[in-house]
């Protein structure tokens, strides 16, 4: 199939950007979306221009690096997948496709479709861990049985890949789903309970420092989350936060 | 130079304990006087950086991704082995050791593998303490599954995302240390050279991938935790950015490269769909617990799989290997799939695929239970192929997945350059000629959490907290060389893109140095790679400048190194005129076409020394001595 692809081009963080149109022909339905961009980039390089910069790495939906806003939706038209898992069979011959970077002031554009998501790392650094050193004295793993439902729910939260689609999809650019996934995972497990209060307070404080917006419970984040992390985790985050604040 | 493996004396089971006691210690107050560089933040790198920082060392960690959480360890699906024997099915440290040495086709060091098996149990405890949500049974205890090459269930897992959960555990430990100021993290920063002073590693040269700034970093030791080199093949299950540059530059600064031809071709990957293909996706080995591998008995049978009656199917792994069946090790499963396809029995449009069928499992367990076990893998398959694996069998074909070869290290994980260590997939040490499933995660974390914290201390205690000088001439020279190379890449301005060269190299490697190798093909490949490399440096087209985010330049730098490493892989494959594990020389097979080892002539580690550009590398041999495991022809029948 033949497609028109309109892509956000921005030289660097300081420059202003604009949408640029490209024609991509002979696209196979078996190509992934990123492979279609690869083909386009090869063409651009051969023409002597600069290829489109975009983040990507594992190309199997788990590293969380790819981050395209396609036709007005984070990771494109399908739910439950990342951009790299989107295949061209989801589009039709003659389509015009718009591709933008994540748009959030807490995720400044670095170049073209590449944004700076280091705010997420700083939130984890503020408290998204269990403070256990490596070493001896750690009890045998089976010492603490964990009820399967709690373990499963913690796992559901822990599948967050930190891609930032939740922020990109939210009209307020809120990071509540991301933060809640980690808070919820660790609050559900006995290992995480010891530091539950300080964790949630520190992570929420850092989230605000980074300039993410507030949560108004529209639920767009969960719909666009490639790992389908649910709203119940935001509810748990709120509960944990209130609990911690009341001391 | 003589290779000293530094394997401790004494009985196998006591070597590590005794060695830990013999190693020198750095006292707690002095640790902060030492700086350590960790390159790569996968399982090995993140666990090492976190643990060393907890001990009090000053750590700088580097990764090329935008966050340390994205290293490719994250993509490991199936699980992590540990000799916990929670299932009471006869597992033990010794059995895990034995299985790993046998699975590696007797080309790994006994002492290293035993240590790995010993610390495997600590890894699970550590990860659970961090909050890693492993799969549990209804009583709340940890669950296990079985993996290839073992007859016990010792694999711990977190659905099909075990690598992700373990990496996020290590990342959280690393993040804690970054937050505490004990680790300085450099994301989007790539190591482009190792700096040595008087033959010892004293730092690295890095490039900031956003600004292009070339920077020197000095340290008392450098840890390379940079993964494998599977992307030499262009198509592999590795991430797009996975590369060999750090390891290769260290090699050119004196670190020997061991067993480069030992590459693992994973049997269960989604087949190639066309020229646009940029990577291959693995379907976890755990699927072989319940999936049955088959091809039609008749050549060129184009019927739909559902229309082929039971008696006209050949479940070739179950037929040939009744005791291990579909769970034979990866090298055996891959070669057999190739054999069937070469005989014209392959399925799908290309004929380069075999079926992996879950119909029996669905009948036995019900679709819900199959979904609970493998749901995300089935979804992934459906997403990529547009087919529903609950209704028709998956089509799978082998793909490059892991590299057992890597930088040569001694028992302390130190390369032949003092002060330069290699951990995880970047070293060669534990998997011999074939890695068993669920052992990569185990090794990465063993090296980072439980080995390097001890062995590095010994090195540092010996050299003392000497003053570091980033203005030393060695740094200036290395910076200059890095800049010159970048300028050269940009100034060639030829007609062929980096990707075109990479794809051509990959085809040469796959055709002649892939699942089956022979002397004639390897010699041809060597010539072709030399030609391709010469052409690359004359005609490559790299767009943009150094002083910006330039992915075309990043790739050019990496592919230029692959073009050198590829030739060494071919040299090594040529030298090793035996079949073992993932290395199958057609000249060396049994009457039943199984790999035939030649222990009399090749029971050694081949460690290659760089001697200069376009000069043949020098082979050094480390003899492998087996005191405990009896060398036999590996049989899974």
CA-nearest residue to B282 within chain A is: A60
Name the one residue in this structure whose structure tokens are 């600004």. Answer: B211
SS3 at position B294? strand
The residue among B46, B70, B274, B377 with the most chain A CBs within 10 A of its CB, best to mutate, is B70
Give the pLDDT confidence of B112-148 residue by residue, as tens digits: 999 999 999 999 999 999 999 999 999 999 999 888 7
Contact between chains at B67 and A61 (C-beta distance less than 8 A):
no
The Cα–Cα gap between B244 and B558 comes to 7
Residues 6+ apart with CB under 8 A from B427: B258, B406, B407, B408, B409, B413, B415, B447
* B368 lies within 8 A of chain A by CB: no
Work out the minimum CA distance from B174 to partner chain A, whole angstroms: 8
How high is the pLDDT of residue B149?
A: 80
First to last CA, chain B: 43
Residue B2 scores a pLDDT above 90: no
pLDDT band at B375 (very low <50, low <70, confident <90, very high): confident
The residue among B17, B28, B72, B136 with the most chain A CBs within 10 A of its CB, best to mutate, is B136
B80 close to B124: Cβ distance less than 8 angstroms: yes
Q: Which two tokens stand for residue A21?
A: 């149109």
The Cα–Cα gap between B501 and B245 comes to 17
CA-nearest residue to B181 within chain A is: A125
How high is the pLDDT of residue B552?
A: 97
Q: Which chain B positions have a beta carbon within 8 Å of A62's beta carbon?
A: 74-75, 161, 163-164
pLDDT band at B213 (very low <50, low <70, confident <90, very high): very high
How high is the pLDDT of residue B530?
A: 98
- The phi, psi pair for B542, rounded to 5°, reads -115, 125
Residue A247 scores a pLDDT above 80: no
Q: Give the residue extent of every domain in chain A.
A: 3-110, 117-246
The Cα–Cα gap between B147 and B153 comes to 7
The Cα–Cα gap between B339 and A150 comes to 46
Work out the minimum CA distance from A219 to partner chain B, whole angstroms: 23
pLDDT band at B159 (very low <50, low <70, confident <90, very high): confident
A76 close to A86: Cβ distance less than 8 angstroms: yes
Q: Give the residue extent of every domain in chain B.
A: 268-401, 473-601
* B21 lies within 8 A of chain A by CB: no
Q: Which chain B positions have a beta carbon within 8 Å of A56's beta carbon?
A: 240
Residues 6+ apart with CB under 8 A from B375: B159, B160
Contact between chains at B138 and A87 (C-beta distance less than 8 A):
no
pLDDT band at B546 (very low <50, low <70, confident <90, very high): very high
Neighbours of B614 (CB within 10 A): 10
Neighbours of B105 (CB within 10 A): 26
- Using CB atoms, which residue from B75, B141, B552 is nearest to A63? B75
Catalytic residue among B330, B533, B558, B576: B330
Instruction: Please state whether the predicted TM-score (pTM) of the whole model is above 0.90.
Output: yes
B586 close to B574: Cβ distance less than 8 angstroms: no
Active site residue B330: yes
Taking each helix axis from N to C end, the angle separating A118-127 and A196-209, rounded to the nearest 10 degrees, works out to: 150
Instruction: State the average pLDDT over residues B484-510.
Output: 98
Give the pLDDT confidence of B248-302 residue by residue, as tens digits: 999 999 999 999 999 999 999 999 988 899 999 998 888 998 999 999 999 999 9
Q: Which two tokens stand for residue B119?
A: 């610390």
User: Domain A3-110: which topology?
Assistant: Ubiquitin-like (UB roll) (3.10.20)
Angle made by CA atoms B62, B63, B65, in degrees to the nearest 5? 155
Q: Which two tokens stand for residue A163?
A: 């891609």
Residue A57 scores a pLDDT above 80: yes
Give the pLDDT confidence of A5-26 residue by residue, as tens digits: 999 999 999 999 999 999 999 9
B99 close to A102: Cβ distance less than 8 angstroms: no
How high is the pLDDT of residue B610?
A: 98
The Cα–Cα gap between A186 and B169 comes to 11
* B131 lies within 8 A of chain A by CB: yes
Q: How many CA atoms lie within 13 A of B457 on its CB side?
A: 23
Q: Which two tokens stand for residue B371?
A: 């979904």
User: Residues 536..555 of B with a Cβ closer than 8 Å to A: which?
Assistant: 541, 543-544, 548-549, 551-552
Residue A245 scores a pLDDT above 90: yes
Instruction: State the average pLDDT over residues B22-49.
Output: 97
Residue A136 scores a pLDDT above 80: no
How high is the pLDDT of residue A10?
A: 98
Tell me what ipTM this predicted complex has.
0.98
CA-CA distances (angstroms) from residue B403 to B261, B264, B319, B345, B567? 8, 6, 29, 29, 15
Instruction: State the average pLDDT over residues B336-353.
Output: 93
- DSSP state, residue B136: B
pLDDT band at B636 (very low <50, low <70, confident <90, very high): confident
Give the pLDDT confidence of B139-152 residue by residue, as tens digits: 999 999 888 788 89
Selected from 3.90.700.10, 1.20.1050.90, 3.30.1650.10, 3.10.400.10, the CATH number assigned to the domain covering B268-401 reads 3.90.700.10
User: Residues 62..81 of B with a Cβ closer than 8 Å to A: which?
Assistant: 65-70, 72, 74-75
- Specify the CATH class of B473-601 in words: mainly alpha
Contact between chains at A110 and B130 (C-beta distance less than 8 A):
no
Q: Which two tokens stand for residue B4?
A: 């000293």
CA-CA distances (angstroms) from residue B560 to A39, B401, B426, B517? 21, 21, 18, 24
Residues 6+ apart with CB under 8 A from B560: B485, B489, B536, B537
Work out the minimum CA distance from B77 to partner chain A, whole angstroms: 10
Residue B57 scores a pLDDT above 90: yes
Residues 6+ apart with CB under 8 A from B80: B123, B124, B155, B156, B157, B162, B166, B438, B441, B442, B445
Supply the mean pLDDT for chain B: 96
Give the pLDDT confidence of B302-321 residue by residue, as tens digits: 999 999 999 999 999 999 99
Contact between chains at A31 and B276 (C-beta distance less than 8 A):
yes
Name the one residue in this structure whose structure tokens are 């049989």. Answer: B635
CATH tag, A117-246: 1.10.1060.10
- DSSP state, residue B531: H
CA-nearest residue to B125 within chain A is: A141
Name the one residue in this structure whose structure tokens are 């993509």. Answer: B75
CA-CA distances (angstroms) from residue B75 to A206, B42, B65, B448? 28, 10, 14, 18
Give strand pairing partners of B207: B190, B214
Residues 6+ apart with CB under 8 A from A224: A73, A74, A75, A79, A165, A166, A168, A169
CA-nearest residue to B56 within chain A is: A133
The residue among A67, A114, A129 with the most chain B CBs within 10 A of its CB, best to mutate, is A129
Instruction: State the average pLDDT over residues B223-238.
Output: 98
Considering only CA atoms, give the Rg of chain B: 24
């Amino acid at each position: 199939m033949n497609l028109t692809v309109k892509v956000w081009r921005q030289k660097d963080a300081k420059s202003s950007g604009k949408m640029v149109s490209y024609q991509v022909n002979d696209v196979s339905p078996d190509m992934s979306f990123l492979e279609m961009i690869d083909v386009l980039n090869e063409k651009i390089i051969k023409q002597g221009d600069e290829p489109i910069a975009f983040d990507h790495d594992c190309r199997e939906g788990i590293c969380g690096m790819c981050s395209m806003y396609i036709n007005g939706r984070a990771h494109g038209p399908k739910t439950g997948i990342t951009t790299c898992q989107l295949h061209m069979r989801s589009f039709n011959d003659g389509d015009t496709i718009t591709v933008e970077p994540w748009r959030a002031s807490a995720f400044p554009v670095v170049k073209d479709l590449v944004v700076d998501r280091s705010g997420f790392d700083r939130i984890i650094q503020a408290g998204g861990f269990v403070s256990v050193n490596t070493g001896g004295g750690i009890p045998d793993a089976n010492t603490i049985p964990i009820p399967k439902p709690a373990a499963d729910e913690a796992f559901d939260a822990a599948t967050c890949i930190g891609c930032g689609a939740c922020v990109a999809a939210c009209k307020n650019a809120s990071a509540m789903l991301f933060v809640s996934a980690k808070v919820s995972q660790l609050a559900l497990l006995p290992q995480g309970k010891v530091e539950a209060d300080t964790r949630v307070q520190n992570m929420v404080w850092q989230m605000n420092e980074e300039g993410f917006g507030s949560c108004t419970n529209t639920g767009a984040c969960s719909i666009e989350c490639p790992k389908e992390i649910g709203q119940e985790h935001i509810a748990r985050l709120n509960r944990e936060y209130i609990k911690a604040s009341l001391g | 130079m003589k290779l000293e493996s530094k394997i401790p004396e004494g009985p196998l089971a006591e070597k590590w304990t005794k060695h830990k006691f013999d190693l020198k210690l750095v006292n707690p107050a002095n640790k902060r006087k030492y700086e350590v560089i960790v390159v790569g933040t996968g399982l090995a790198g993140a666990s090492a950086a976190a643990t060393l920082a907890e001990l009090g060392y000053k750590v700088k960690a580097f990764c090329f991704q935008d966050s340390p959480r994205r290293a490719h360890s994250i993509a490991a699906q199936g699980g992590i082995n540990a000799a916990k024997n929670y299932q009471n099915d006869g597992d033990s440290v010794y059995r895990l050791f034995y299985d790993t040495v046998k699975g590696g086709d007797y080309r790994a060091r006994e002492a290293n593998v035993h240590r790995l098996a010993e610390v495997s149990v600590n890894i699970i405890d550590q990860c659970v303490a961090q909050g890693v949500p492993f799969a549990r049974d209804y009583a709340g205890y940890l669950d296990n599954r079985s993996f290839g090459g073992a007859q016990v269930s010792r694999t711990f897992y977190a659905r099909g995302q075990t690598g992700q959960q373990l990496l996020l555990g290590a990342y959280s430990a690393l993040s804690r240390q970054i937050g505490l100021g004990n680790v300085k993290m450099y994301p989007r920063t790539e190591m482009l050279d190792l700096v040595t002073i008087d033959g010892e590693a004293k730092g690295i040269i890095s490039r900031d991938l956003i600004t292009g700034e070339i920077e020197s970093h000095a340290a008392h030791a450098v840890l390379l935790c940079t993964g494998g080199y599977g992307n030499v093949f262009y198509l592999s299950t590795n991430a797009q950015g996975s590369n060999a540059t750090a390891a290769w530059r260290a090699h050119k600064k004196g670190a020997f490269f061991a067993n480069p031809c030992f590459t693992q071709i994973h049997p269960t990957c989604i087949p190639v769909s066309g020229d646009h293909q940029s990577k291959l996706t693995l379907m976890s080995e755990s699927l072989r617990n319940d999936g049955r591998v088959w091809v039609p008995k008749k050549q060129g049978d184009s019927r739909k799989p559902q229309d082929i009656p039971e008696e006209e199917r050949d479940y070739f792994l179950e037929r040939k290997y009744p005791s291990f069946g579909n769970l034979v090790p990866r090298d055996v499963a891959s070669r057999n799939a190739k054999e069937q396809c070469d005989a014209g029995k392959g399925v799908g449009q290309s004929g380069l695929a075999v079926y992996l069928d879950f119909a029996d499992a669905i009948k036995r367990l019900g679709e819900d239970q199959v979904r609970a076990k493998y749901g995300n893998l089935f979804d992934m398959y459906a997403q990529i192929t547009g087919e529903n694996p609950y209704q028709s069998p998956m089509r799978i074909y082998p793909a490059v997945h892991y590299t057992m070869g890597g930088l040569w290290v001694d028992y302390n994980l130190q390369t032949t350059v003092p002060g330069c260590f290699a951990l995880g997939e970047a070293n060669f040490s534990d998997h011999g000629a074939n890695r068993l499933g669920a052992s990569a995660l185990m090794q990465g974390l063993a090296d980072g959490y439980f080995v390097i914290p001890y062995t590095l201390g010994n090195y540092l205690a010996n050299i003392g907290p000497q003053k570091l000088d980033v203005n030393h001439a060695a740094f200036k020279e290395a910076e200059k060389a890095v800049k010159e190379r970048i300028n050269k890449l940009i100034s060639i301005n030829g007609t062929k893109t980096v990707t075109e060269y990479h794809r051509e190299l990959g085809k040469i490697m796959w055709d002649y140095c892939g699942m089956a190798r022979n002397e004639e093909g390897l010699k041809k490949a060597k010539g072709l790679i030399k030609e391709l490399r010469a052409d690359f440096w004359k005609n490559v087209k790299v767009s943009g400048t150094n002083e910006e985010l330039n992915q075309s330049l990043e790739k050019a730098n990496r592919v230029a190194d692959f073009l050198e490493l590829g030739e060494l892989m071919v040299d090594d494959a040529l030298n090793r005129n035996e079949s073992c594990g993932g290395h199958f020389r057609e000249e060396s097979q049994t009457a039943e076409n199984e790999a035939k080892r030649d222990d009399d002539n090749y029971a050694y580690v081949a460690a290659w020394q760089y001697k200069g550009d376009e000069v043949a590398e020098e082979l050094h041999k480390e003899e492998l001595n087996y005191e405990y495991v009896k060398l036999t022809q590996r049989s899974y029948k």
